[in-house]
């Protein structure tokens, strides 16, 4: 089982408009409401792959209860910590099938107190006892310091839980200082963490090598249409998808992470696990909704993924 710790969950409301225009009254008949936040997207994609997963998140108010009910309705197992800090945030995703990509309008969410976070961290650590792999995915709630994330990662490490982290900004800096088993980020997040732009495949490979030098065993970076790279003790690999017409990239990085984790838990070599992740992320970009993809589409894309070792 993979435990997916989601510090800042959301109720995602995805609305589809053709010819979307700001400043105008528009109506849509296509609306998708789902449990969201990066970690819930990872859990949804893992479920599509048949990978047992448990989502763990702090939730509050009526919105939080709706999120939990929607997750259960999809078959996503959840371990929830209920706080009194206010309503779980709602994020609105606007999709125009004729545009290049979706537009995300994300609420910041409630401010969690130290007691709220301590309660959630305790629930997450208890849930980790039965996990073969732990994932920490998404931003930190307001009121939670990066150091608090570092302490949670250190506790998971002390419990000998392999943990993969996907976050950004100060949270990523704190995660790197805690030296988790693995890190998965996008090119912009990695560049911000290292203080320099990460450009192209070779630049990404050099950046991942730096993460390895900092003590991270497995590091991966997604590069949008260029695919993704991953490195471990066996070397660095680049997986590139075939050309695709994107509908919405929302959740593609999360689907990639789910595929990578599923591949690792199946015992696949890193390049094959990476290729599975890239296929999942690419298939997600062809659909509306984070962490969703058609299984047949994913398999078709996987057959067209190009793999290359990078020096």
- Residue 35 is predicted with a pLDDT of 98
- The closest alpha carbon to 115, from 80, 137, 144, belongs to 144
Instruction: Indicate which CATH number applies to the domain containing 185.
Output: 3.40.1190.20
Residue 248 CA to residue 129 CA, distance in Å, equals 35
Q: Which residues constitute the domain of residue 45? A: 2-16+29-310
Mean pLDDT of the chain: 96
Residue 139 pLDDT grade (very low, low, confident, very high; cuts 50, 70, 90) = very high
Quote the pTM value. 0.95
Residue 21 belongs to some domain of the structure: no
Residue 209 belongs to some domain of the structure: yes
Q: Token digits for 265? A: 């838990």
Contact criterion met (CB below 8 Å) for 9 and 38: no
- Residue 138 is predicted with a pLDDT of 97
254 is catalytic: yes
**Which one from 12, 116, 166, 254 is the annotated catalytic residue?**
254
- Residue 232 is predicted with a pLDDT of 97
Residue 234 belongs to some domain of the structure: yes
What total number of domains does the chain contain?
1
143-187 per-position pLDDT tens digit? 999 999 999 999 999 999 999 999 999 999 999 999 999 999 999
Residue 94 belongs to some domain of the structure: yes
pLDDT value at 188 more than 90: yes
pLDDT value at 26 more than 90: no
Residue 233 pLDDT grade (very low, low, confident, very high; cuts 50, 70, 90) = very high
Residue with tokens 């911000």: 192
Q: How far is CA 204 from CA 12, 220, 263, in A?
A: 31, 9, 22
pLDDT value at 292 more than 90: yes
Listing DSSP states for 259-282 in one string gives HHHHHHHTT--HHHHHHHHHHHHH
Residue 24 belongs to some domain of the structure: no
Dihedral over Cα of 264, 78, 61, 152: its sign: negative
Residue 22 belongs to some domain of the structure: no
Alpha helices by DSSP H, listed for the chain, are: 38-48, 61-74, 114-127, 146-158, 169-178, 187-194, 200-213, 252-265, 270-284, 295-304
77-101 per-position pLDDT tens digit? 999 999 999 999 999 999 888 887 8
Contact criterion met (CB below 8 Å) for 17 and 96: yes
């Amino acid at each position: 089982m993979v435990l997916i710790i989601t510090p800042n969950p959301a109720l995602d409301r995805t609305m589809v408009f053709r010819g979307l225009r700001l400043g105008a009254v528009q109506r849509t008949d296509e609306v998708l409401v789902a449990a969201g936040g990066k970690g819930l997207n990872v859990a949804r994609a893992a479920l599509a792959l048949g990978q047992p997963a448990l989502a763990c998140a702090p939730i509050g108010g009526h919105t939080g209860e709706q999120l939990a009910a929607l997750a259960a309705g999809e078959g996503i197992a959840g371990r929830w910590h209920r706080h009194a800090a206010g309503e779980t945030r709602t994020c609105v995703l606007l999709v125009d099938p004729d545009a290049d990509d979706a537009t995300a309008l994300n609420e910041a969410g409630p401010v969690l107190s130290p007691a709220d976070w301590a309660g959630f961290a305790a629930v997450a650590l208890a849930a980790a006892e039965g996990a073969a792999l732990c994932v920490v995915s998404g931003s930190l709630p307001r009121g939670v310091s990066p150091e608090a994330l570092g302490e949670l990662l250190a506790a998971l490490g002390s419990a000998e839980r392999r943990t993969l982290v996907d976050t950004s900004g100060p949270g990523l800096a704190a995660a790197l200082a805690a030296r988790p088993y693995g890190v998965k980020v996008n090119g912009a997040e990695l560049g911000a963490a290292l203080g320099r732009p990460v450009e192209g495949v070779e630049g990404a490979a050099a950046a991942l090598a730096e993460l390895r030098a900092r003590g991270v065993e497995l590091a991966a970076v997604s590069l949008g249409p260029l695919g993704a790279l991953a490195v471990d003790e066996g070397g660095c690999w680049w997986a590139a998808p075939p050309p695709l017409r994107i509908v919405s990239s929302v959740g593609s990085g999360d689907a990639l992470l789910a595929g990578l984790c599923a591949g690792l838990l199946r015992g696949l070599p890193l390049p094959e696990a990476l290729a599975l992740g890239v296929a999942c992320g690419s298939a997600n970009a062809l659909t509306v909704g984070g962490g969703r993809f058609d299984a047949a589409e994913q398999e078709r894309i996987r057959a067209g993924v190009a793999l290359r070792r990078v020096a």
